[in-house]
Structures are given as C-alpha cells and as structure tokens.
A and B are shown apart, each in its own frame.
Chain A
C-alpha cells in the first residue's frame, strides 16, 4: 500500500510541476511581441488583398482568436490550456489550422522515443563493459583511455558529434551508411536499420561516458569492501567475484543515473533530429518555435517534459524494487 500512496503523491506532484511549466510557457508566449497573427502572416496565407482590407482582416483575426481561445481573459486561457494539455486534447496548430496537433504527434513522438531509448540501450550495452574494464585495470593506460573517452563523450554535445559523423560517412567514406532521413515511402515511423545507426550513436556517446564513469567509480569502491575480501579468501575465482559480487551491486545503484541521462538525451534528440533531418518531436519543436506557432511549441515542450517526469518516476520506483534498503517517501 505504501507504494500506491507514494505513486499518488508523485503523480500529483508531477501534474503540478508540468502545469507550472505550461503556465510559464503560456504566459511568456502570450506577452511575446509580434505573435503569429501578424499582418504579413495573414497576407501570405490569404493573399495581400485580405491584409489591405481592414474589415476582412479584423474578421479573420477575430475568427482565429475565437478558434484558439485567445479572446478569453488570460487566467482563463491558462487554465483551459492546462486542462486541455492534461487531457491530451491539444487542438490545432497555428501554421496548419486544419491539422490536429495530435496527428502530428502520432508520427513524431514514436520516432523521438525510438531515438532516445535506442541511445540509452546502446549506452548501457557499451558503457557497462567499458566501466568494468576500466575498474579492473585501474590506473593503467586502459583506465586512462576509457576515462578520457568517457569525458570526451560527455563534453562534446550531440550535434557536434552528429555533424562530425555526417562528415565521416558522407564525405570521407561514402555509401556505407545513409547520413540523413528516416523511414521512407510506406513506413514513416520505422527507419531502415542503416538510417538509425548514426543518430543513435551520436546521441548515445554522451550517455556512454556517464554510464562508464559511474560503473568504474562504484566498482572501484565496491572492490575495496569486506565481502569482496571474504570471497577472495574463500578462493572464489576472480571473474566470479567481479561479476557476481561487484558488478551486480554497482548496477542496482546505476539505475539512478538513467533518470538524468534520459533528460540529457531528450535535449540531445532535439539537436540530432536537426542535423539528420529526422521528422521527430525535435523537428516539430524547432519549426514551431521559429514560426511563433505557440500551441505546437508548448505542446511539444509538454510532451517532452512529461516523458522526462514519467521516466524519473519509473527510475525511482524500480530502484526501490531492486534495492530493498531504499525507502520510498
């Protein structure tokens, strides 16, 4: 029962937090000079005639404001917007007034999820062995090389890695892997295996560094503890000690690294999608922001923020399940 109470508490806190994010975003967008319904935008959509005819212009403006609820007082708009977001009823974007935001998300969201989770999985597959090797060969060149690689992965942001990878596979060795695009005719969401490699690798490098560093440090600590010495005295084989008594203990705590790493990866997704022109959420967010398309911009931030919060919650819960010493509170 304790876990249920904890869950309810966390979910309520999460909703409050996300509502605050939406409210802040909405207020900032509301007071932004310019905005979407400027004369030039309407003129480009309806022809210059509409902009020159003040009555027609006002009429169109009013219609639009009614459609997006901009004629209510601000507090009402904010509450309405939060409610609509929390019930996943996002309405229409301003750029494409006839297409529901939900339709856009249907293709964009799975793509970004694939990228993010793919890179986390890659980071675990590569980072854990790297950390173990560095810890076993502590203070040798292997350790130093692994640490340097880990720091490099963390230091260089995903868009630079992505750009360098495109340079390598697009210019130096051509034709091995496709350097941009995602999916194809008939399958918009699923990529061909080759298309997924470079984005996921460039996203994963940073997380590999985080994971490897964490595993290395915690394993070094654990290998100094008493139960390891007992096992050695008992005559257990070295690899068995490392894998069973060392790595297993360090991995339970490692799940706490995944939460922040995931948030870091989500931001990386936005950048990587730009470089590889992948039609994911990052692409949606970026076009929305550059075009002052407020509903779409806030919705994409909402989705990403919700994704991060849910991931954090899952991490905390699974940590308490894996390590009985950790109390949920």
Chain B
C-alpha cells in the first residue's frame, strides 16, 4: 500500500514542475489585451499613490487669470471654469476613486464572504433568510439604495464608500455560498470531518483556498463596477462634494460646458474610459487564466 502511494506521487511529480501561479501567468501573458490592461491598471495605481505629490497644484487651488484655459505649458490639461488645473484635478480624482473603489469593494467583499460562508455552511433557515436577502438586493439596481444612503449619510468620502460597500455584497455572497455548497458534498470535507476537524477549521483550511481563484476574478470585476457607481452618483449630483474632484464630477461639469470648451472633456472622460476598459480586460484575462477548463 505504502509503495503504491509513493509510486503514484513520484509518477505525478514531473508533470507539475511549475507552480499553479506560474501556469496561470503563462496563460495570462498570451492575452495581449489583458497584459495591456494590467499595465494601465498598474500605472493608474501608481498615479493614485504618488498623485498628490506630483500634482502641480492643490485640487482647490484656483487660477483666476487662466479660467477656461486650453492646454498650455502652465496647465498641461487646461483649466475649468473656476481655474482649477485639470491635471491636478485628475490626479486627485484618481486618488479618491481608488480609495473609494477599493474600500467599497473590500467592505462588500467582507460582508459577502461572511454571509455566503454562513449560509453555505449552516444551511436551513439561515440559508433561506440570507438568500431571500440576496434575491432582494439583486432584483433592484443597487444604485437606488446607494442614492438613498448617500442622502441619509452625506456626500463625504466615508459615507459614499460605505454606501457603495454595503449595497454591493449580494453577488459575492451568492458566489461563495454556491462554491461552499458544491464543496460541502465533496470527499475532502467528508474526510476532514471524519478526522475530527471543526467546522471553522474546515472552512479556513479547505474551503477558502479552493474558492480563492474565483474570488480573485469576482474582485477584479467588482472594482470597475464600484468605480462606475461612484462616478454615476456624481452624474446625478449626489457624488463627492464639489471642491473634491472625482471623475464623475469632472465629466458632469464638462458635460455642461463641452460645446464651448471641449478639452475639459478629453482628459477626464478619456482616462476614465481607458481605466474601466483596462480593468475589464484584466478581469477577463484573469478569469481565463485562472479557470483553464473553458479551454476552447
């Protein structure tokens, strides 16, 4: 018996010479759009981190002598109707967008994991209640709830982050519950239970690592979604309060002045569109690289 086990292991070993991560990266690298998306996302992240230091002006600095100026050497992306330097505004809005998108995704992800794991492991009435709640959140666009929450709690960074976060968990909870349910029936869990492992231990040690891949993909799709919602709130006039720049504010503001001063739209709308595209291409590439079963 022991001999047989050893021989199968040594027989299987040469095949898995590379780690799972390296294999995924090899598959990812073949998708040029995904690699391009990743590069832009990294640039965007760096700009978000160092942006406030390299921005030539503060976001609330107004240059009254150069109001509505087209791009010049002094203001390389022009200025808006109050004389804000567009380049600085964009750098700051990258920072705010990243903070809110990452924070909100984290919040909804944590809520989703907790509720999904709970529903999946416990079953019964808890499962019923949580899934009804998920259906309820899924049936209406969460944008409406976001609006209501922002009205209630104000238009600052924290309230918007929380509003987007606590309405966006339904998808994560559903995903994780489904994964847990599909695995609870598996041999692995049965074996662990037979060995006397506690439920908490099983969840942490066996279930979580297995769902990591799919969670990474859903996170990659979740961040651009939160970016969109955040900008959408600004379009309706319920986003970050005006002295703070955000892509939604910039686009909405430029939208009303576009026919006279079109350069106000080029940069914010262009960069925002490019960023969302990059995130989506990256997420798409990630889901193909991490999930090689759909190999056609």
Q: Are A166 and B277 in contact (CB under 8 A)?
A: no
Check: A81 CB closer than 8 A to any chain B CB.
Answer: no
Q: Could you mark each residue 249-270 of chain B with 1 if its beta carbon is under 8 Å from any beta carbon of chain A, else 0?
A: 0011011001100100110010
Q: Could you mark each residue 276-304 of chain A with 1 if its beta carbon is under 8 Å from any beta carbon of chain B, else 0?
A: 00000010011001101000010001001
With A266-B141, A289-B237 known to touch, is A171 a contact of B262 (CB < 8 Å)? yes
Q: Which residue of A lies closest to B266 (CB)?
A: A167
CB-CB < 8 A to A17: which residues of B? 136, 139-140
Interface size on A, residues (CB 8 A): 48
Q: Could you mark each residue 176-197 of chain A with 1 if its beta carbon is under 8 Å from any beta carbon of chain B, else 0?
A: 0001000000000000000000
Q: Among the listed stretches A22-30, A50-58, A243-251, which one makes contact with chain B, having 4 or more residues with CB under 8 Å of it?
A: A22-30
CB-CB < 8 A to B144: which residues of A? 21, 301, 304-305
Q: Are B232 and A159 in contact (CB under 8 A)?
A: yes
Q: Are A155 and B277 in contact (CB under 8 A)?
A: yes
With A271-B235, A274-B235 known to touch, is A263 a contact of B258 (CB < 8 Å)? no
Q: Which residue of B lies closest to A305 (CB)?
A: B140
Q: B237 is contacted by which of A163, A267, A286, A301 (Cβ under 8 Å)?
A: A286
The number of chain B residues touching the other chain, given as a range, is 35 or more
CB-CB < 8 A to A151: which residues of B? 277, 280-281, 284
Closest-CB distance, B276 to chain A (whole angstroms): 5
Closest-CB distance, B96 to chain A (whole angstroms): 17
Check: B50 CB closer than 8 A to any chain A CB.
Answer: no
CB-CB < 8 A to B281: which residues of A? 151
With A and B bound together, what is the CA distance between A154 and B258 in angstroms? 24
Check: A93 CB closer than 8 A to any chain B CB.
Answer: no
Q: Which residue of A lies closest to B234 (CB)?
A: A159
Q: A163 is contacted by which of B33, B136, B149, B258 (Cβ under 8 Å)?
A: B258
Closest-CB distance, B279 to chain A (whole angstroms): 7
Q: Are B236 and A286 in contact (CB under 8 A)?
A: yes
Chain B residues 219-249 with CB under 8 Å of chain A are 224, 228, 231-232, 235-238, 248
With A151-B284, A263-B140 known to touch, is A157 a contact of B231 (CB < 8 Å)? yes
Q: Are A290 and B238 in contact (CB under 8 A)?
A: yes
With A and B bound together, what is the CA distance between A157 and B258 in angstroms? 18
With A and B bound together, what is the CA distance between A170 and B251 in angstroms? 15
CB-CB < 8 A to A29: which residues of B? 148, 151-152
Check: A20 CB closer than 8 A to any chain B CB.
Answer: yes
With A and B bound together, what is the CA distance between A220 and B254 in angstroms? 43
Q: Are A312 and B255 in contact (CB under 8 A)?
A: no
Check: A239 CB closer than 8 A to any chain B CB.
Answer: no
Check: B57 CB closer than 8 A to any chain A CB.
Answer: no
30 contacting pairs across A/B (C-beta < 8 A): A20-B136, A28-B148, A28-B149, A28-B151, A148-B33, A151-B281, A151-B284, A152-B277, A155-B276, A155-B279, A160-B273, A163-B258, A164-B265, A166-B255, A167-B258, A167-B265, A170-B259, A170-B262, A171-B258, A171-B259, A171-B262, A263-B141, A274-B252, A285-B236, A286-B237, A286-B238, A290-B236, A301-B148, A305-B140, A308-B139
- Chain B residues packing against A (C-beta within 8 Å): 33, 136, 139-141, 143-145, 147-149, 151-152, 224, 228, 231-232, 235-238, 248, 251-252, 254-255, 258-259, 262, 265-266, 269, 272-273, 276-277, 279-281, 284, 296
Told that A156-B276, A305-B140 touch, could you supply 20 new A-B pairs with CB distance under 8 A? A28-B152, A29-B152, A152-B277, A155-B280, A159-B232, A160-B272, A163-B269, A267-B141, A270-B235, A270-B236, A274-B236, A274-B255, A275-B235, A275-B255, A286-B236, A289-B236, A290-B236, A290-B238, A297-B151, A308-B141
